[in-house]
A = this chain, B = another copy of it.
Amino acid sequence: MKYKVLKMEGRAKRAHMETVHGSIETPVFMNVGTVAAIKGAVSTADLETIGTQVELSNTYHLHVRPGDEVVKKLGGLHKFMSWNRPILTDSGGFQVFSLADLRKIKEEGVEFRSHIDGRKIVMGPEESMQIQSNRASTIAMAFDECPSSLAERSYVKASVDRTTRWLERCRKKMNELNSREDTINREQLLFGINQGAIFEDIRIDHAKRISDMDMDGYAIGGLAVGETHEEMYHILDETVPYLPTEKPVYLMGVGTPANILEGVERGVDFFDCVYPSRNGRHGHVYTNHGKLNLLNAKYELDERPIEEGCGCPACQRYSRAYIRHLLKAKEMLGLRLCVLHNLYFYNKMMEEIRDALDAGDFAGYKKRKLEGLELTN
């Protein structure tokens, strides 16, 4: 893996990364494919059309079904999904903590019941690394606990200490897996995850400790889970400076276009979020003049595309009136066109951000973009 910062503007970074599955230009927005498919009938062929650089696959969902050993037998996620660009897999931790029933957290890992069939599953650092190795993603994420932003300081402190011990175990297991002959991707990367809820000192101390461990990259986890945007920006201001500039930084699960602009300004390279696909499935679409709700009656006779000049497959061919009709008639095609538009909008915004950084005008771009986005949003 090679990661090279090409340009900086304040703390904002414009970087180029090379992986075994091709290069990534950052800042980048990863498109989320929960069960090895983007919700909304979007295929990997579609992702190529809308400019997706990195696909994100959730470990928990795919572990429960079809099972990671099935995916390994089928040659890993890239072959399974027919996608030859980078894939990042999460560790499964976040979903275990948010979706699974009856979970018990122990030093070894987490014991929980599948949300599909109730079967008992134990997942700890070693299991998560094994699963992600079976998937053969480009980037694996460390197995961590994501404590609630409302948790007590003493709980968060103990949790973060355990997450650090888990990171050591993740690294050891990943090194072992990457040295095995029968591992599909023996150059799998591992990113560590910074936690600490909204306690700056715990965040900073943890950032220092994991920075010393020389991981392939670092994520900020446990944000966008209930705290205010200002608290999130404050934590980024305090924490990112303690992560190495020469490594990629990933802000997990974030966010709105405005959140992303603020994150880039604070030194973040990687983002992911379900908003564009989830909003699309509800007929809410992004434009540079604010968000539109296509179910609104005023679009019934609107022959314009969602956004004039947009190069997405929906805007290239279909009108607001037609997409509104499809949504009202509950035709899947309506959801699909909205999701394609929104993902394209996010991907295109990241390209604009990179261009602005290249041109040394990120500050100006950010100001103009936010003015447009805030018109209705």
Cβ contact of A45, chosen from B40, B66, B317, cutoff 8 A = B317
CB A54 to nearest CB in B, in angstroms, measures 19
Cβ contact of A332, chosen from B81, B319, B326, B336, cutoff 8 A = B336
Known: A74-B319, A317-B82, A328-B66. A333 touches B301 (CB 8 A): no
Contact present for B321 and A80 (CB under 8 Å) = yes
Contact mask for chain A residues 322-346; partner B; CB cutoff 8 A; 1 contact, 0 none? 1001101101111111000000000
- Asked if A155 is at the interface (CB within 8 A of a chain B CB), the reply is no
Stretch of A31-39, A157-165, A195-203, A360-368 with 4 or more beta carbons under 8 angstroms from chain B: A31-39
Contact present for B74 and A39 (CB under 8 Å) = no
Contact present for B332 and A36 (CB under 8 Å) = no
- Asked if A44 is at the interface (CB within 8 A of a chain B CB), the reply is yes
CB neighbours of A41 from chain B (8 A): 40-41, 331-333, 335-336
CB neighbours of A184 from chain B (8 A): none
Cβ contact of A74, chosen from B35, B38, B303, B332, cutoff 8 A = B303
- Asked if A43 is at the interface (CB within 8 A of a chain B CB), the reply is yes
Contact mask for chain A residues 22-63; partner B; CB cutoff 8 A; 1 contact, 0 none? 000000000000011111111111000000000000000100
CB A41 to nearest CB in B, in angstroms, measures 4
Contact present for A65 and B333 (CB under 8 Å) = no
Contact present for B80 and A326 (CB under 8 Å) = no
- Asked if A172 is at the interface (CB within 8 A of a chain B CB), the reply is no
Give Cα distance in the complex from A36 to B37, angstroms: 26
Known: A37-B331, A301-B74, A331-B35. A45 touches B313 (CB 8 A): yes
- Asked if A73 is at the interface (CB within 8 A of a chain B CB), the reply is yes
- Asked if A168 is at the interface (CB within 8 A of a chain B CB), the reply is no
- Asked if A356 is at the interface (CB within 8 A of a chain B CB), the reply is no
Contact present for B81 and A322 (CB under 8 Å) = yes
Contact present for B300 and A66 (CB under 8 Å) = yes
Give Cα distance in the complex from A319 to B66, angstroms: 14
Give Cα distance in the complex from A41 to B332, angstroms: 5
- Asked if A215 is at the interface (CB within 8 A of a chain B CB), the reply is no
CB neighbours of A80 from chain B (8 A): 319, 321-322, 325
Give Cα distance in the complex from A334 to B335, angstroms: 15
CB A95 to nearest CB in B, in angstroms, measures 14
CB A139 to nearest CB in B, in angstroms, measures 21
Give Cα distance in the complex from A318 to B43, angstroms: 10
- Asked if A273 is at the interface (CB within 8 A of a chain B CB), the reply is no
- Asked if A70 is at the interface (CB within 8 A of a chain B CB), the reply is yes
Cβ contact of A325, chosen from B45, B66, B82, cutoff 8 A = B66
CB neighbours of A329 from chain B (8 A): 35, 37, 61, 65
Give Cα distance in the complex from A37 to B300, angstroms: 17
Contact present for B74 and A42 (CB under 8 Å) = no
Give Cα distance in the complex from A370 to B140, angstroms: 50
CB neighbours of A328 from chain B (8 A): 65-66
Closest to A82 in B: B317
CB neighbours of A322 from chain B (8 A): 36, 74, 80-82
Known: A37-B326, A38-B333, A65-B329. 5 other contacts (CB 8 A): A43-B333, A61-B329, A74-B303, A80-B319, A336-B336
- Listed from nearest, the 3 A-B pairs whose CB atoms lie closest are A41-B41, A41-B332, A35-B329
| Between-chain CB contacts (< 8 Å), 22 pairs | A35-B331, A37-B331, A37-B334, A39-B331, A39-B332, A40-B41, A41-B41, A43-B313, A44-B317, A45-B313, A65-B328, A65-B329, A66-B325, A70-B301, A73-B301, A74-B303, A74-B321, A74-B322, A75-B303, A80-B319, A332-B332, A332-B335
